[in-house]
Structure 1
Amino acid sequence: MPPLIPFEEITHHFAEFQHTAFRLETRRGYATDRAGARFQAFVRGTAPAPEPGHAWNVNVRAKAEQGARFSRVRIVDDPPTDGQRFLMATAAGNVEAGEDIRVLPRADAVRLGLPDFDLWLFDSRTLVRMHIDDTDTTIGVELIEDPGEVLAACRARDAALAAARPSVEVWTRVRSSV
């Protein structure tokens, strides 16, 4: 494994990118979500309230006002895990802030040959490959600027965005089935 850097060392990209920031989420859940009170309330049946003042949403709105765009595709199982359902339930606040969040069934992601790891792609130039352990905890990231690897990530992004459906649409269907 290549040397990893702490996630905190790449967070400046979220404020500094000029055009696009794309996230591919491949996990069935994330330790940081499970540890939070919102997740615990969600699994007990309480819908998570939007958080417009959360630093993430404030930044998304600011970048959108500058003409930049956040987007993400979440790969989900059938049926979705509690962690995936939680992410769909919380997406509305992010979408309201200006983020484009879509959902893609895992079978489609496999058929499309998408990466099986989480990533961020900034301005189609900088790839951040996330390394997440078996407990769903981020242990570090790779910062990649190799043109071949970045191009592969751009192609994966384009395929994922084209095939995925808006999170709210999928969440409405999932929510009505539970």
Structure 2
Amino acid sequence: MSSWALPGAELDELLRSFRHRAWRWECQGTYRQPAEAEPWRRWRAGEPDDLAWLRPWLDQVAAATRAGRRFARVRVFREPPTEYQRWQLDVSPANIAAGEDVRVLTAGRARALGLPNRDFWLFDEDRVALMHFENQQFAGTEIIAAPEEVNRYRTWRDVASDHAIPFMAYLHDLTQRSR
């Protein structure tokens, strides 16, 4: 069974109520979320960012990890990274400090592994929130709970996790290559 939900409504509930693990496959090269527009503009202008706009997410991750629940994601990075992804290189250490396990796969490696080109969250091994985007903006989710379909997403998660490298190692390698 799958159903559509308005942008953020059901996804926010799943992000609050999962019991053990929330895992994200993030494969868009650029996201144009309204809440990120001003922070991204400041980054592009070289202005400082106190990450106040990200604080609610960081607090949610920190509270969940203190309670023994896990947040993890694998991000697919283009080579070279898009401008948005270069911004994420500066922002992501805050996610990690909050307790999120962030890993990276290159786009070429993701394609070679047969991984999907659609973003999704996998919650507690039994629910998928397939994310839909329009013009690089989040447009809604399709909730998938049928065991045979969820199993396919678990397999993709396992493959991606097995081949991705920790974000900080990716950042170090990228920095070394750009010297």
CA contact (8 A) 2:26 2:120 kept: yes
Point out 4+ residue stretches in structure 1 off by more than 6 angstroms.
none
**Secondary structure at the counterpart of residue 114 of structure 1:** coil
Distance in 2 of aligned mates of 1:130 and 1:26: 11
Give 1:44 shift.
2.7
> Any residues of structure 2 matched to 1:44-63 within 5 Å, and which?
44-46=45-47, 48-51=49-52, 54-63=55-64
Distance in 1 of aligned mates of 2:88 and 2:27: 12
Distance in 2 of aligned mates of 1:73 and 1:10: 18
CA contact (8 A) 2:33 2:138 kept: no
Give the TM-score taking structure 1 as reference length. 0.89
Q: Answer yes or no: is 1:136 the counterpart of 2:136.
A: yes
Distance in 2 of aligned mates of 1:108 and 1:120: 20
Task: Please name the residue that 2:166 is paired with.
Answer: 166
Q: Answer yes or no: is 1:126 the counterpart of 2:139.
A: no
> Any residues of structure 2 matched to 1:137-152 within 5 Å, and which?
137-152=137-152
Change (3 A) 1:59 1:35: closer
Q: Give a deviation string over 1:105-155, Cα, whole Å, max 9, x none.
A: 01110111111100000001100000112x201111101001111111111
Q: Which amino acid in structure 1 is aligned with residue 17 of structure 2?
A: E
**Secondary structure at the counterpart of residue 142 of structure 1:** strand
CA contact (8 A) 2:43 2:87 kept: yes
> Percent identity over the alignment?
31
Q: Which amino acid in structure 2 is aligned with residue 87 of structure 1?
A: Q
Distance in 2 of aligned mates of 1:38 and 1:168: 22
CA contact (8 A) 1:24 1:73 kept: yes
**Secondary structure at the counterpart of residue 4 of structure 1:** strand
Distance in 2 of aligned mates of 1:164 and 1:51: 29
Distance in 1 of aligned mates of 2:97 and 2:123: 21
Change (3 A) 1:33 1:26: farther
**Secondary structure at the counterpart of residue 25 of structure 2:** strand
Q: Give a deviation string over 1:12-58, Cα, whole Å, max 9, x none.
A: 11121111000001101101179522211222334644559811111
Q: State the superposition RMSD in angstroms.
A: 2.2
